[in-house]
Amino acid sequence: MIDQLKERAGNQCELCGAKENLVTFTVEPGNSTKLEENVLICATCESQINKKSELDAGHWRVLNDSMWSEVLPVQILSWRMLNRLKMSGDSSAADLVDMMYLDDENLKWARATGEDREQEEKAKHLDSNGVELATGDNVVLIKDLDVKGAGFTAKRGTAVRIRLVSDDPTMIEAKVNGQNIYILTEYVKK
């Protein structure tokens, strides 16, 4: 199979284009005997993919090209590494991930290693008991809250329907006494 991979890849890393220290890499949870589930990559890419060495964002700038490969396992690895870079705070990687398209079946394969899960976990809105909140949920205030600028106090025990604040998992929005207010999630329970 190595000869077939070398021919397909033009004797270079399918991710970064390096021509030395090339190895066969099975894209999890793929089968090591199927050409369509393997790629030819360099030792540097392999080391960072397997977290044997520190993630070098500079090395992965090539993903803006390899993400468009016609070879599906190259697209999958590009998506995974872009998500890993995105999790580390690389905004250009976040933009590239947003541009990529994988159909449902291939996206399931790409997500198999969980490269995108950390961000999902960070974005969860949790109430005072650690229960996940969603837009449209009804919650109860567990503390009297002075509403600044509105001149009233939202009383403990008040039930409200909420909307999540997308960029802050510690905040929700609700209507109390006809006013839209922001509430810290730690002051409500589902």
Tens-place pLDDT, residues 131-165: 999 888 999 999 999 988 888 999 999 999 998 88
Distance (Å, whole) CA 11 – CA 95 = 30
pLDDT at 167: 66
Tens-place pLDDT, residues 23-65: 999 998 878 889 999 999 999 999 999 888 899 999 999 999 9
pLDDT at 24: 95
C-beta atoms surrounding 82 within 10 Å: 27
Distance (Å, whole) CA 88 – CA 100 = 19
